[in-house]
Amino acid sequence: MALTLASSPAFAQLARRNPFSIGVNEGAVGQAGRLGLWLLRQQAHFYQILRVGVENAAHNPSALFSLALGAFAYGVFHAAGPGHGKAVISSYMLANERAMNRGVALSFLAAFWQATVAIALVGVASVLLGVTAQTMTAAAGFVEKCAFAAIAGFGAWLSWRKGAALAAVFRAQAPQNSRFRCDDGAGPHGADCPHCIAPDPKQLGEDFSWRQGAATVLAAGSRPCSGAILALVFSASLGAFSIGVWATLAMAAGTALTTSGLAAAAVLFKSSMKRLLGAQSRRAEIFGRTFEAAAALAVLLLGLSLLLGLWASGG
Amino acid sequence: MTLRLFLTILSLAALAAPVVFAAPALAHPHVWVAAREEILFDSNGDIAAIRHIWTFDEMYSAFAVQGLGKDGQPPTREELAPLAKTNVESLADFQYFTAAKTGPKYHEFGTPTDYSLEADASKIVTLRFTLPLKTPVTSKKPFTFIVYDPTYFVDIELDKQMPVVLKNAPAGCSMSTIKPEPLSASETSKLSESFFSGLSPGSDFGIKLATRTLVVCP
């Protein structure tokens, strides 16, 4: 897994910042097939619509609706690229969530948090303080560094919890003849005697907490995206910052649609794998826990490699 | 039995996890450039340098000029000088987005000179810099070059009207541009892939969309 990470061209390219980067790394386009090309074309197309839309809406507020549509569509296609917390959200889903609607809610919250970060960054730095491109790039770079640290921290915390849960499954020895039955205290042993094959899910932190949800949203959405920053700076330069804000929010809605689709797919994949292995079986439990621990580790590795990439680029 | 099962599942998980987060790394262009290129010949008729003239799109231009310029006027060349320096210096890590070759041999570049960033009346920004070849190259053999961002963060397209100008060229020199069509028959894309393969392994996407320029002198 770590090898896959290291060999991924996106991470190799992270080591160097693009000369025209606006502070946040967008990764590289690796080997792209026809679908990838098609996606790129769509994004480029809607990006142009976005730019023209901002221009039109700055002069004529009635163009705001078509701008919002263009920005939304751009968000949908753009979210298919790196960033936008897809990795974090879907790994979190694999590691933790079983409820699809909560996954969708988290995806939307992360997308709108991401929009908020971009709006705050440009609003303060560009509109209020009137900084130059270099200062803006440095500020965006700093925000990105914090965001990557948040991903690594979140991954470490998740790995700790999921690792413990996995260990607990293995500690629970399978009894000789009855495979799937928990002692209920009626037999020769008490209910607390560790004869349970699968530990009670509730003891493994299955319950959803808002603190945990907030941590996911923060880790997934703290890195602003270049497209939003550019659109905001552009609209501010036309004296219509609010137009850029609306466009960014519409973009976030589009991004959320794609990421929540991925989150839903992650939940579906996990539940169907467990069903395949037989619900309630020890096998399914081990599979589930292993998978969750691996996904948690993936978030940690992702955060670390992003940080390492920044460090290597001297950022 | 349990161990084997566990190993199977573990390897499954290890296989599946990267799919989720290392899935196709598709950045897309955030910056658009309309490029004009000048091929500078020396007094011997050799190719000495490539001068890049890159005009940026409205959004990146707005980003570049933010906080500069007084009373709504476009910023001066002097005000933009620090950004020009940053841009050109960091281009070194990316081989200046330029690949030039004669036959199978790729040429090396020296340090860029004469760089500037200028904003026109409508605040559209143009970056100019001269990229010297480490040693001048004969123009007697076909010389090809492309301008592209390997990461495809920047979409560089040659200007429609005057894409490439030969400066101080010996009589009879000509140039032509070839635009690849990556979505057309696989033959074409294979050709361009093999033609420029080995330039930047793993991140050669921008190259597939880049226009090649061919310079031939008698």
Within 10 Å of residue A68's Cβ, how many Cβ atoms? 19
Cβ within 8 Å of B, A 204-233: 226-227, 229-231, 233
Residue B43 pLDDT: 92
Interface contact B93-A16, CB threshold 8 A: yes
User: pLDDT at residue A286 above 50?
Assistant: yes
User: How many CB atoms are closer than 10 A to CB A113?
Assistant: 19
Which pLDDT score is estimated for B142?
Answer: 92
Helix (H, G, I), strand (E, B) or coil at A266: helix
Q: Which residues contact A269 (CB under 8 A, 6 or more apart)?
A: A94, B16
Determine the pLDDT at residue A99: 75
> pLDDT confidence of A98, banded at 50, 70, 90?
low
Q: What is the pLDDT of residue B138?
A: 92
**Other beta carbons within 10 Å of A66:** 14
Hey, which residues 91-130 in chain B have their CB within 8 Å of chain A?
91, 93-94, 97, 123
* A82 in B contact zone (CB under 8 Å): yes
Q: What is the pLDDT of residues A17-56, one digit of tens each?
A: 777 877 676 655 544 556 666 777 777 777 778 888 888 8
CA torsion, ordered B62, B66, B70, B71, to nearest 10 deg: 60
Residue B50 region, left (φ>0) first, then alpha (ψ -120 to 50), else beta? beta
Of A9-13, A128-132, B58-62, B181-185, minimum mean pLDDT range: A9-13
Distance in angstroms (rounded) separating the CA atoms of residues A126 and A250: 21
Q: Are strands B31-41 and B164-167 parallel, antiparallel or unpaired?
A: parallel
Distance CA B196, CA B105 (A): 11
CA distance A259 to A90: 8
* Partners of B145 in the β-ladder: B100, B213
Q: Which domains does chain B have, with CATH numbers?
A: 27-216 (2.70.170)
Assigned token pair, A285: 């439990």
Question: Domain limits of chain A?
Answer: 35-312
CA–CA distance, A54 with A241 (Å, rounded to integer): 10
The span from the CA of A57 to the CA of A234, in Å, is 12
pTM, two decimals, is 0.76
Lowest mean pLDDT among A92-96, A177-181, B63-67, B86-90: A177-181
Instruction: Say whether pLDDT at B51 is over 90.
Output: yes
Higher pLDDT, B27 or A136: A136
Query: For residue A71, which of A218, A234, A220, A222 has the smallest C-alpha distance?
Result: A234
User: B86-103: per-residue pLDDT in tens?
Assistant: 999 989 988 899 999 998
**pLDDT given at position B4:** 52
* pLDDT of B23 over the 60 cut: no
Tokens (6 digits) for A121:
């960054």
SS3 B34: strand
- The pLDDT tens digits of the residues spanning A60-90 come to 878 888 889 888 988 888 776 655 677 788 8
Distance CA B111, CA B109 (A): 7
Residue B116 has pLDDT above 90, yes or no: yes
Q: A1: which chain B residues are within 8 Å (Cβ-Cβ)?
A: 14, 17-18
Which one of A34, A47, A294 has the shortest CB-CB distance to B17?
A294
Cα separation, B145 vs B165, whole angstroms? 13
Calculate mean pLDDT across residues A205-223. Answer: 77
State which amino acid sits at residue A307.
L
More confident residue, A151 or B197: A151
Rounded Cα–Cα distance for residues A62 and A234 (Å): 19
Instruction: Find the DSSP H helices in A172-240.
Output: 210-221, 226-237
Q: How far apart are CA B73 and CA B24, in angstroms?
A: 43
Of A27 and A130, more confident: A130
Does B66 contact A269 at a Cβ distance shorter than 8 Å?
no
Q: In terms of CA atoms, which chain B residue is nearest residue A226?
A: B30
Read off the amino acid at residue A215. Answer: A
Taking alpha carbons only, the member of A191, A197, A145 closest to residue A168 is A197
Q: What is the predicted pLDDT for the residue at A5?
A: 41
**What is the separation of C-alpha B88 from the centre of its chain, rounded to a whole number of angstroms?**
12
pLDDT at residue B16, rounded to an integer: 46
pLDDT-derived band at A173, boundaries 50, 70, 90: low
Please provide the average confidence, as pLDDT, over all residues in chain B: 79
Residue A269 neighbours by CB distance under 10 Å: 17
Q: Which residue has the higher pLDDT, A249 or B192?
A: A249
In which band, very low, low, confident or very high, does the pLDDT at B79 lie, cut at 50, 70 and 90? very high
Q: The tokens 């790994």 sit on which residue?
A: A91
Most confident of B26-35, B88-97, B189-198: B88-97
CA–CA separation, A150 and A117 (whole Å): 14
**Distance in angstroms (rounded) separating the CA atoms of residues A46 and A72:** 9
Q: Indicate whether B54 pLDDT > 90.
A: yes
Which of A61-65, B184-188, B206-210 is predicted most confidently?
A: A61-65
pLDDT tens string A2-11: 444 444 444 4
Whether residue A231 is predicted with pLDDT greater than 70 in this model: the reply is yes
Disruptive mutation site among A5, A17, A18 for chain B (greatest number of B CBs within 10 Å): A18
Q: What angle do CA B51, B56, B61 make, to 5 degrees?
A: 130
In terms of pLDDT, which residue wins out, B41 or B150?
B41
pLDDT at A188 over 90: no
Identity of the amino acid at A112: F
B134, pLDDT greater than 90:
yes
Look at residue B208 in the predicted model and tell me its pLDDT.
Answer: 67
Query: Which residues 6+ apart lie within 8 Å of A127 measured at CB?
Result: A236, A241
pLDDT at A206 over 60: no
Q: What is the pLDDT of residue A177?
A: 44
d(Cα B20, Cα A160) in Å, to the nearest integer? 21
Residue B183 contacts A, CB cutoff 8 Å: yes
More confident residue, B181 or A286: A286
Question: Do the strands B47-56 and B164-167 form a parallel or antiparallel pair, or are they unpaired?
Answer: unpaired
Tell me what ipTM this predicted complex has: 0.73
Residues forming beta bridges with residue B49, ordered by sequence position? B40, B132
Residues 93-152 of A with CB under 8 A from B: 94, 126, 130-136
Our CA-based measurement puts residue A87 at a distance from the nearest CA of chain B, in whole angstroms, of 4
Percent of chain A residues past pLDDT 90, beyond the cut: 12
Q: Give burial (CB, 10 Å; 0-12/13-18/19+) of B1.
A: exposed
How far is it, in rounded angstroms, from Cα A140 to Cα A132? 12
Rounded Cα gap, residues A118 and A151, in angstroms? 18
User: ∠ CA B173-B178-B179 to the nearest 5 degrees?
Assistant: 155
Q: Residue A14 above 60 pLDDT?
A: no
Q: Which residue has the tokens 């078509």?
A: A66
pLDDT at position B52 is 96
Q: How confident is the model at residue A130 (pLDDT cuts 50, 70, 90)?
A: confident
Ordered DSSP codes for A81-142: SS-TTHHHHHHHHHHT---HHHHHHHHHHHHHHHHHHHHHHHIIIIIIS---HHHHHHHHHH
Q: Does B60 touch chain A (CB under 8 A)?
A: yes
Question: A114 or B191: which carries more pLDDT confidence?
Answer: A114
Residue B87 contacts A where some CB pair is shorter than 8 Å: yes
> A11 to chain B nearest CA, in Å?
9
pLDDT at position A35 is 64
Q: What is the pLDDT of residue A207?
A: 53
